[in-house]
Chains A and B, each alone.
Chain A
Amino acid sequence: MTFLPKPKLHHPKLPTNTVGLTRRDYEGAISTLCAGCGHDSISAAIIQACFNLAIPPHRIAKLSGIGCSSKTPTYFLGAAHGFNSVHGRMPSVLTGAYLANRDLIYLGVSGDGDSASIGFGQFAHSMRRGVNMTYIVENNGVYGLTKGQFSATSDKGSVAKKGAVNADQPIDLAAIAVQLGATFVARSFSGDKEQLVPLIEAALTHQGAAFIDVLSPCVAFNNHAGSTKSYDFIREHNDALNKLDIMVNRDAITVSYAPGEVTDVMQHDGSVLRLRKLHEGHDPTDRASAMHHIMERKAAGEIVTGLIYVDPEPTALHESLGTVAAPLNALGDSELCPGVDALAKVNASLR
């Protein structure tokens, strides 16, 4: 129902953030997804996170592939440019956009079909390349837009709405992101706003490849008994690692947290991730133990959520390439064209 514009009127007393915008300024068009879709909760969490961080919306570029999840960028950040690209190919388009202008914030939205099947290769390579982005997979374990086929993240033994049983092993995108060198990996649940919003904020401030796998039940095709991506199943099997608070640029935000089990992780940009650990022994800055923890809990039938891994000093692609600080798309003739004298030298060298 995108043809129905949202009313532009705001309540005069809506709270504003430090750039003078209200939460409504971060909204997009009205969603055309099914009522109760987990993806809409994720859109709401993205809106909340961007509002909380007071990011001017036009400084974000939102990119997606194809599928239900990839439609959602229309439903948030209406003042930001968006690119709804090709199925499974958001990572490469986002990589190119990031190469062109390192000053914008890149938000990639994808789904389990988009990232774990057709675009598995692009997902993998964008992680290992260190593209500075927030990459969110809205993972419902099903092909929604084509009406209910299994996806590559569907659990082995899970039952489709029409009764078929999935015999294939599932792909755990978060585990793979850890293994491939992503410098921020988290998992959450669309129905857990309290956990999801701070994770998105932390990912947006992370200066490297940040990946969040968000379990997001499909109300139309995958929210029934037998599904391992239903609201009930996830609520029963959710095993949260930690609770996250984020303090941007070491702002003195006071938070309530349980004493004893607190870890502060300062990121490269100065923001502090304060983790209230629920699990003994999980060190989110240790890649090997993060992998181990995911595998161990999975064997116990639990889905690990929270901040799984973070490298507080990531190296982003522009740094490894050694490009200039100015965005490449802002360079002009004098900086790009070597001129006639240089050409005369080239000609001379070819005689």
Chain B
Amino acid sequence: MPQPLIATNDFVVKFANVNGSGSASANGLFAKSILRMGVPIASRNIFPSNIQGLPTWFEVRVSEAGHMGRRGGVDMMVAMNPQTWDRDIAEIEAGGYLFYDSTRPMPKSKFRDDITIIGCPLTEITNAAYSDPRQRQLFKNIVYLGALSALLDMEVEAVQHCIAAQFKGKEKLVPANYAALEMGRSWAQANLQCPIGLTLKRADKVGDRIFVEGNAAAGLGAVYGGATVCAWYPITPSTSLAEAFEKYCTRLRKDPETGEKRYAIVQAEDELASIGMVIGAAWNGARAFTATSGPGISLMQEFLGLAYFAEIPAVLFDVQRAGPSTGMPTRTQQSDLLSAAYASHGDTKHVMLLPEDPSECFTFGADAFDLADRLQTPIFVMLDLDIGMNDWLCEPFAWDPNRRMDRGKVLDAAGLDAAQNFGRYQDIDGDGIPYRTWPGTHPEKGAFFTRGTSRDRQARYTEEGAPYVDNMQRLLRKFETAKSVVPRPIMRAAKEKARDGVIYYGSTSAAMKEALSALEAEGVHLDALRIRAFPFHQDVADFIAAHDRVFVVEQNRDAQLRTLLMNEESIDPAKMIAVLHYDGTPITARFIQAAIADRASAANVLPFRKATP
């Protein structure tokens, strides 16, 4: 038996549960109670495409150092699901801990001898205390929370505070939950060695950060960004984004006098209708968006070509999941980059924003509407399931009180009167962005036909080659303009001069930061660049040019960002080394560290290797 793991405020607890058993609420209380003690956590749901009965896991990484990515490995398993017992037990680190319901005896062969086994007769305790089967099930979760609080030395007041907060408005449920909590806690204190080697200690490391999922943050961003029309079709993992928009609108967007809504939400019949409504609304001057995932983006392809060519300012939130086809609908990936960047037939390119956490989902969620209006083109905000559906500890949402919507180049009636010979597709300012006007603006001026067919600068139908090319070239100029208005990449320089660099984006960010520190400790120094938008800012090409090799870390099989970089910046593929994680789980610091360390050291020894005979 190896030495049991000893750690304070730095370990991973994983809960193995059955979907629909009510465990999510207890597990959430566990996570929030630790935050309440001032200790940062990163929590992740790993769930099936199912409502009831299939296995589900909840992983809580406790990290006083503030590492928000997945670490990899499990120090303590709370094994509540017999279906997945064997693989759950196998996942525990040597020296780790197993907590399980010991009501029924288990054969010795079902355990490991290199871990500490902690049995607690949860079923027996709840069967004795409750007669109603539903109560037995629900309170069993709170009883194990009580036992864990004793085993990990949690402040019971923190847990009680979170229970009270959870049942706000349903206060009569609080005492019963307190009782169940105490039942588990006192049983553990009386019968088990408390605490174990893994302990929690009050710290002051959470600060004013908030704990929120990316989909809620992006939905709130759309409220602040002035979106008034949301058309969507339910698809995991994006559904909670549209629902969050509705929730925040209900609270923040009703006329205080009349209660009437300053927004319209339509659950469309499919993704084609969703994007069609968004395009119609945006054409008519409303800020409009849809929320979807990869399969939805596939269905919207034809419309996206229209929006690109007719220059309609639409916003799309793509909460990416593992593809292709139905793929793994409840698992995360960054695998829609290419299908979004080049969506539709013909020559198209689209703007993408790549947020790293919920805080940036809020900011980009609002910014997307300004960018769409400014650039008169679809804007994709690329979340993924890991950011979208998990609560993240992140910076609070920030808003400049002086900020106003940037509606871009829109002519009102006076503007049309002042304009000389208005033409919808003229490039007056040389930035590729034409002036538009909304239907119903002026009795005589400005009316034109919006269409996906080729037209001249005056929006007149034409199939002549020269005006077609003229228009396509202007769209390229507009894309150049986009480079200067989208969020710039963020550079993090190595402590020592580095010959190699690493590029990453989106939800990889958390694990990347931790991996960079770990690599640095091993003597591997890398400059790092976090890309936040497509098209790429000039900084990106400069960064790659300044390094011998660049690792490109992403969560898909085909190195999609690397492909975009090769294609758009004409970079030698040999210079960019793909580091790819795509099994559907969020990328871990350990994975990145190992993958880069391997290749970095392999490269270092290469010149000294003898030629094989």
Contact = CB atoms under 8 A, between A and B. Distances in A.
Interface of A: 2-3, 56-59, 61, 63, 73-74, 78-86, 89, 91-101, 103-104, 121-122, 124-125, 129, 317-318, 321-325, 328-329, 331-333, 335-340, 342-343, 346-347, 350-351
A96 B441 contact: no
Nearest to A104: B440
A329 B226 CA distance: 10
Interface stretch (B58-66, B271-279, B492-500, B516-524): B271-279
A351 B286 contact: no
A57 B260 CA distance: 30
Contacts of A57: 443
Given A79-B443, A92-B268, A324-B262, A84 B453 contact: yes
Contact of B277 (A81, A95, A324, A350): A95
Interface in B389-419: 396-399, 401, 403-405
B439 A96 contact: no
Contacts of B270: 121
Contacts of B448: 81-82
A97 B263 contact: no
Contacts of A350: 210-212, 396
B33 to A, nearest CB: 13
Contacts of A325: 260
B306 A85 contact: yes
Nearest to A21: B443
B260 A96 contact: no
A193 B303 CA distance: 36
A343 B278 CA distance: 26
B229 A351 contact: no
B326 interface: no
B284 interface: yes
A329 B405 contact: no
B273 A125 contact: yes
B208 interface: yes
Interface string B258-301: 11111111101110111111111111111010000000000000
B226 A61 contact: no
12 contacts: A56-B443, A58-B442, A61-B284, A61-B439, A84-B449, A86-B452, A99-B286, A100-B281, A321-B265, A328-B263, A336-B226, A347-B210
B220 interface: yes
Given A58-B447, A96-B280, A324-B260, 14 more contacts: A58-B439, A84-B453, A86-B302, A89-B303, A91-B273, A92-B272, A100-B280, A101-B285, A103-B440, A104-B439, A125-B273, A325-B260, A331-B228, A333-B226
Given A93-B277, A96-B277, A336 B228 contact: yes
Contacts of A335: 262
Contact of B440 (A93, A101, A338): A101
A97 B228 contact: no
Contact of A336 (B231, B262, B438): B262
5 cross-chain pairs, A with B, having the tightest CB-CB distances, nearest first? A96-B280, A92-B276, A100-B286, A329-B285, A96-B277
Contacts of B262: 323-324, 328, 331, 335-336
Contacts of B429: none
Nearest to A28: B449
B132 interface: no
B6 interface: no
Given A100-B286, A346-B220, A85 B226 contact: no
A338 to B, nearest CB: 4
Contacts, number: 225
Interface of B: 208-212, 220, 223-224, 226, 228-229, 231, 248, 252-253, 255, 258-266, 268-270, 272-286, 288, 302-303, 306, 396-399, 401, 403-405, 438-444, 447-453, 460-461
Contacts of B281: 96-97, 99-100, 328-329
Contact of A338 (B253, B260, B284, B441): B253
A213 to B, nearest CB: 21
A54 to B, nearest CB: 13
Contact of B255 (A103, A324, A333): A324
B264 to A, nearest CB: 5
A242 to B, nearest CB: 33
A121 to B, nearest CB: 6
A2 B277 contact: no
Interface of A, helix, strand, loop or mixed by DSSP: helix
Contacts of A323: 260-264
B224 to A, nearest CB: 6
B452 A122 contact: no
Nearest to B314: A96
Contacts of A83: 280, 283, 449-451
A125 B269 contact: yes
Given A56-B443, A58-B447, A99 B266 contact: yes
A333 B444 CA distance: 29
Given A104-B439, A324-B255, A329-B285, A85 B452 contact: yes
A7 B450 CA distance: 23
A275 B268 CA distance: 36
B373 to A, nearest CB: 12
Contact of B224 (A82, A337, A347): A337
B303 to A, nearest CB: 6
Contacts of A63: 280
B447 A80 contact: yes
A74 B208 CA distance: 58
B288 to A, nearest CB: 6
A66 to B, nearest CB: 9
Contacts of A95: 231, 266, 273, 276-277, 280
Contact of B397 (A74, A89, A347): A347
A129 B277 CA distance: 13
B208 A328 contact: no
Nearest to A84: B451
Nearest to A324: B260
A329 B447 contact: no
Residue from B209, B280, B404 whose CB has the most chain A CB atoms within 10 Å: B280
Contacts of B209: 351
A70 to B, nearest CB: 10
B228 A328 contact: yes
Contact of B447 (A2, A79, A125, A351): A79
Contacts of A351: 208-211
A253 to B, nearest CB: 26
Given A94-B280, A328-B262, A58 B443 contact: yes
Contact of A100 (B211, B276, B284): B284
B51 to A, nearest CB: 26
Contacts of A121: 269-270, 273
B280 A92 contact: yes
A296 to B, nearest CB: 31
A73 B401 CA distance: 44
A340 B277 contact: no
Contacts of A97: 280-281, 283-284, 439
B438 A329 contact: yes
B283 A93 contact: yes
Contact of B396 (A58, A92, A318, A347): A347
B273 A100 contact: no
Residue from B261, B281, B440, B450 whose CB has the most chain A CB atoms within 10 Å: B440
A337 B303 contact: no
Given A58-B442, A346-B220, A96 B284 contact: yes
A111 B567 CA distance: 41
Contacts of B208: 347, 351
Nearest to B441: A58
Given A97-B281, A99-B286, A100-B284, A328 B264 contact: yes
Nearest to A79: B447
A350 B35 CA distance: 11
A129 B264 CA distance: 13
A71 B398 CA distance: 48
A81 B439 contact: yes
B460 A2 contact: yes
A350 to B, nearest CB: 4
